[in-house]
Amino acid sequence: MALFAGNINDLNALYTTQLRFLLSTEEQIIEALPKMIGAASDQQLKDALQSHLQETEVHAERLEDVLSELNGDIDSKKCSVTAALISAGENTIKAANDDAVRDAGIIAAAQKVEHFEMASYGTVRSWAQILGHTEQAALLNKTLQEEGHADKLLTKISERANPAASIAA
Ligand SMILES: [Fe+2]
Ligand SMILES: [Fe+2]
């Protein structure tokens, strides 16, 4: 794997590598979200995931813009952390028989992904600033804010929806 091949010699190379992993993260989320929306029962949860899917498409486009400005290509690198988070979420969704319990599992899975994205975008935004890529930092910060907003909205939904899961038979 390129990450361990010893070709990351400076922060610029590390920055580009992390952006490629993040593009893979967004691509995997774009694939996974429609399945989560289909499996969700709560209408507010479905709507929140649907609008975040549209935001996620923009997140991927922003990364493509940044990568092409840096390197002239928009190749992603498969992020195995995202793959593991999504697959764990899908397993929970499959195993849940009750609608409210399944929704609680979907919220949990989605929030884990949001927090992973927030950690990742916080890092690349800081690196962009250090490296003097001011416009890229602003773009990455926009995405970071949207991930944070999505996470907060999921917390709000969970406060209403999770008690319903607690009374499932
Ligand atoms: Fe995103
Ligand atoms: Fe997100």
Q: Average pLDDT in the 3-9 region?
A: 70
CATH 1.10.1740.10 fits 11-166, yes or no: no
Which DSSP category does 3 fall into?
G
| Cβ(128)–Cβ(105) below 8 Å | no
Q: Average pLDDT in the 128-151 region?
A: 98
Token pair 């190379």 is found at 13
* pLDDT, position 127: 98
What's the gap in Å between 39 CA and the centre of ligand 1? 20
* pLDDT, position 8: 84
What's the gap in Å between 71 CA and the centre of ligand 2? 25
- Residues within 5 Å of ion ligand 2 by Cβ? 117, 147
Model confidence at 2: pLDDT above 80: no
What's the gap in Å between 141 CA and the centre of ligand 1? 11
Query: 41 Cβ partners below 8 Å, 6+ apart?
Result: 99, 100, 102, 103
What's the gap in Å between 36 CA and the centre of ligand 1? 15
| Ligand closest to CA 58 | 1
Model confidence at 169: pLDDT above 90: no
Which is more confident, 9 or 78? 78
Alpha carbons 19 and 3: distance in angstroms, whole number: 12
Which is more confident, 144 or 164? 144
What's the gap in Å between 65 CA and the centre of ligand 1? 15
* pLDDT, position 166: 85
Q: What pLDDT band is residue 164 in, cutting at 50, 70 and 90?
A: confident
pLDDT 10s digits, 117-128: 999 999 999 999
* pLDDT, position 4: 58
Model confidence at 16: pLDDT above 90: yes
Q: What is the distance of C-alpha 93 from the center of its chain?
A: 18
What interhelical angle do 134-166 and 99-130 show, nearest 10? Answer: 160
73: left (phi over 0), alpha (psi -120 to 50) or beta: beta
What's the gap in Å between 167 CA and the centre of ligand 1? 33
Q: What pLDDT band is residue 160 in, cutting at 50, 70 and 90?
A: very high
Where are the chain's structural domains? Answer: 11-166
First-to-final CA distance of the chain:
47
Model confidence at 56: pLDDT above 60: yes
Q: What's the whole-number average pLDDT of the chain?
A: 95
Model confidence at 24: pLDDT above 60: yes
Alpha carbons 43 and 58: distance in angstroms, whole number: 23
